[in-house]
Structure 1
Amino acid sequence: MTVIGFHASHEQLPPAELLRAVQRAEEAGFGAAMCSDHLAPWSVRQGESGHAWSWLGAALQATRLPIGVVTAPGQRYHPAVAAQAIATLESMFPGRFWAALGSGEALNEHVTADPFPPKPERDERLAQAVAAIRRLLAGEEVSTDGLVRMDRARIWSLPAVPPPLHAAAVSHETAREAASWADGLITVDQPRDVLRALLEAYRAAGGRGPVAVQVHLSWAPHEDEARAIAHEQWRTGLLPGPLVWELATPEDFDRRTADATVDEVARTIPVSADLGRHAHHLAELAELGFDRIFVHHVGTEQDRFIDAFGARVLPALGGPAATGDGR
């Protein structure tokens, strides 16, 4: 049965408030959680960006949920540092942590003052980072001299079993390439034909493990409010994939979407006051074959959303029984 999880958006809520939200989500019946890993928000209006790894330790301690993170080793995080963080969380909370690895976005990576590489180089850097992280999690001493450089790196505090390393992919090309190394796949909600092609590409290339999708949506008791929330907080969806990865600051994103209308934004994500419509949308994704669906209400008021989805949407999708292994 498909696991319905809660997405914790560090870009939109202060860390302590986000911690309370994930606890409330567990109480409401969500079966898993995940969080973003940003140094900067997508928009100045969002105004937050807590440190994901600090928060993850608190969230895993404060709940019993399996919780993961989408992160980008290679530039802002040296892969040895990422491997150490992964190992420590899995050691403390065995069987509950996962990490999805991606090639990154300039929004978070430019701060090193190193050039943000073109996508082919980022993909190769990610492949080298994954290989090094797996070796480190196996207890090896690692030295490398490629796009990823290490000198006798070793992780001393290791979990009994390394946690899953999933791939974060938006295109079927990336999904196919990641199939060789990933323990699972996570993507974002897109048109059904795009998602179907992505899943088929991953499986056809030998991709194993669970497949997950992150769904950005906007809900409020009244339609106009749901639309206003999306317009205020989530204009990023208007920008095409390559541009989203290349813009460097929240101000850049705000300038690019300054003229966006409410109607334009509402066409990029599910926006509705009708909980039945949201349940139907999520059910379609489950039928498509996703093992896990992580729901992100793009508003900063999370309590109403959590309570309403817990009472009306989760039961329509199988309820708290649909919690299984969210890793």
Structure 2
Amino acid sequence: MTAYGYFLSCEEHGPRELVEQARMAEDAGFSALWISDHYHPWNARQGQSPFVWSVIGALADATSLPVQTAVTCPTVRMHPAVTAQAVATSAVLLGNRFRLGVGSGEALNEHVLGDSWPPAPVRLAMLEEAVYVMRMLLSGREVTHHGRYYTVENARLYTVPEEPVPIDVSAFGPAALELAGRIGDGFITMAPDAAAVRGFREAGGGSKPAAAGLRVCWGRDRGEAVSTAHRLWPNDHLPGELAQVLPTPSHFEQASTLVTREMVADAVACGPDVDAHVEAVTAYAHAGFDTVYVSQIGPDQRGFFDFYRTEVLPALPR
């Protein structure tokens, strides 16, 4: 059975807008929320980057839906001990409706304090140790830890949720999939990749939940919707490791000049065609994902939610 959630974009919307979108998502029939955790947008045209933990506090009062970060990097910009406190408070506010999504991060967000940006194998090792530290702290016990990457001394979280916070791991390659299957309570990705779901399950994920997200651009005119998607999210179509290693929005803008409007039109469900949206979302359900999170590109959020409430969500497989 597949559930359908909404993906709140902190790169594209301010905090008040995100809270209002969460309300609209619940009213439209979406069953869960993802929210991105960024210090920078991918490019200046997206134009926002509110502090996700503040927004989550507001979401706890605005909606009854479960909330998950997609994803938090708890390794460089924020120490895992500090991240654990934010997670614990969020879980208490949400009444155990919170899941933490974690990943190895991007230089775009994590280099801002002047730290070096390590290679992928080191980032994954740091993530594994960070998850270990956070789980110890989220238990409410006093923690002293002297590890390879992190030190914690006599730290205890006094405000902790009644139940353990699930920690799902984002993965886009074999090494990350192995880590997700071994230490994660679930798996997160952004492609309708059935092989990745199998890899996660075979690496130890078993029957744990697998979730994925996609962006669409509803609009009454398909050409205008394609232009909006190309203007705001060309970075989604950059190849290889560029998303992990480019350090600033301006670098992403430079690289995104290689992304053509035709590439976006071929890859993103744009416009008012119900079948195109149903097909795009259904691809994830058919790939074996338990929950699929949809994000609307652009300002016409009300139109999107009306369209999905009346046309798309009723047509999706359950």
TM-score (norm 2): 0.95
**Residue in 1 that maps onto 2:47:** 47
**Residue in 2 that maps onto 1:325:** none
Stretches of structure 2 that go unaligned for 5 or more consecutive residues are none
**Residue in 2 that maps onto 1:173:** 175
Aligned length: 315
**2:61 matched to 1:61?**
yes
SS in 1 for 2:241: helix
SS in 2 for 1:46: coil
Determine if contact 2:67/2:98 at 8 Å carries over to the other structure: yes
**Cα distance in 1 for residues equivalent to 2:79 and 2:27:** 36
**Residue in 2 that maps onto 1:104:** 105
**Residue in 2 that maps onto 1:84:** 85
Question: Which of residues 193, 199, 202 is equivalent to 1:201?
Answer: 199
CA deviations over 1:15-34 (Å, ceiling 9, x no partner): 10111111011111111111
- Deviation at residue 307 of structure 1 after TM alignment: 1.2
CA deviations over 1:49-71 (Å, ceiling 9, x no partner): 11111001101210000011010
Determine if contact 2:74/2:127 at 8 Å carries over to the other structure: yes
**Cα distance in 2 for residues equivalent to 1:2 and 1:231:** 29
Determine if contact 2:60/2:94 at 8 Å carries over to the other structure: yes
**Cα distance in 1 for residues equivalent to 2:175 and 2:258:** 32
**Cα distance in 1 for residues equivalent to 2:259 and 2:220:** 23
**Residue in 2 that maps onto 1:35:** 35
Give the alignment of 1:139-288 within 5 angstroms.
Answer: 139-140=140-141, 141-190=143-192, 195-208=193-206, 209-288=208-287
Taking a change above 3 Å as real, the CA distance of residues 152 and 268 of structure 1, as seen in their structure-2 partners, is: farther
SS in 2 for 1:71: coil
**Cα distance in 2 for residues equivalent to 1:268 and 1:284:** 12
SS in 2 for 1:180: helix
Determine if contact 2:60/2:93 at 8 Å carries over to the other structure: no
Determine if contact 2:107/2:246 at 8 Å carries over to the other structure: yes
Taking a change above 3 Å as real, the CA distance of residues 172 and 219 of structure 1, as seen in their structure-2 partners, is: farther
Determine if contact 2:213/2:292 at 8 Å carries over to the other structure: yes
**Cα distance in 1 for residues equivalent to 2:268 and 2:36:** 18
**2:297 matched to 1:295?**
no
Kindly indicate whether structure 1 or structure 2 has the higher relative contact order, using CA contacts under 8 Å at least 6 residues apart. Answer: 1
- Deviation at residue 226 of structure 1 after TM alignment: 1.4
**Cα distance in 2 for residues equivalent to 1:62 and 1:285:** 28
**Cα distance in 2 for residues equivalent to 1:23 and 1:93:** 15
- Deviation at residue 260 of structure 1 after TM alignment: 3.3
Please tell me the residue identity of whatever aligns with 2:55.
Answer: W
SS in 1 for 2:160: coil
**How high is the sequence identity, in percent, across the aligned residues?**
38
SS in 1 for 2:219: coil
Determine if contact 2:4/2:291 at 8 Å carries over to the other structure: yes
CA deviations over 1:282-308 (Å, ceiling 9, x no partner): 123212211100001122321111111
- Deviation at residue 93 of structure 1 after TM alignment: 1.9
Please tell me the residue identity of whatever aligns with 2:132.
Answer: A
Determine if contact 1:132/1:142 at 8 Å carries over to the other structure: no
Determine if contact 1:7/1:34 at 8 Å carries over to the other structure: yes
**Cα distance in 2 for residues equivalent to 1:189 and 1:143:** 36
- Deviation at residue 89 of structure 1 after TM alignment: 1.4
**Cα distance in 2 for residues equivalent to 1:88 and 1:180:** 26
Please tell me the residue identity of whatever aligns with 2:79.
Answer: H
Stretches of structure 1 that go unaligned for 5 or more consecutive residues are 323-327
Please tell me the residue identity of whatever aligns with 1:197.
Answer: A
**Cα distance in 2 for residues equivalent to 1:107 and 1:67:** 24
SS in 1 for 2:183: coil
- Deviation at residue 164 of structure 1 after TM alignment: 0.6
Determine if contact 2:168/2:186 at 8 Å carries over to the other structure: yes
**Cα distance in 2 for residues equivalent to 1:245 and 1:225:** 30
Q: Which moved more, 1:14-23 or 1:274-283?
A: 274-283
Taking a change above 3 Å as real, the CA distance of residues 228 and 118 of structure 1, as seen in their structure-2 partners, is: same
**Cα distance in 2 for residues equivalent to 1:286 and 1:95:** 26
Determine if contact 2:238/2:259 at 8 Å carries over to the other structure: no
Taking a change above 3 Å as real, the CA distance of residues 259 and 285 of structure 1, as seen in their structure-2 partners, is: closer
CA deviations over 1:251-296 (Å, ceiling 9, x no partner): 1111111353211222343334312221122123212211100001
- Deviation at residue 160 of structure 1 after TM alignment: 1.1
Taking a change above 3 Å as real, the CA distance of residues 112 and 204 of structure 1, as seen in their structure-2 partners, is: same
SS in 1 for 2:205: coil
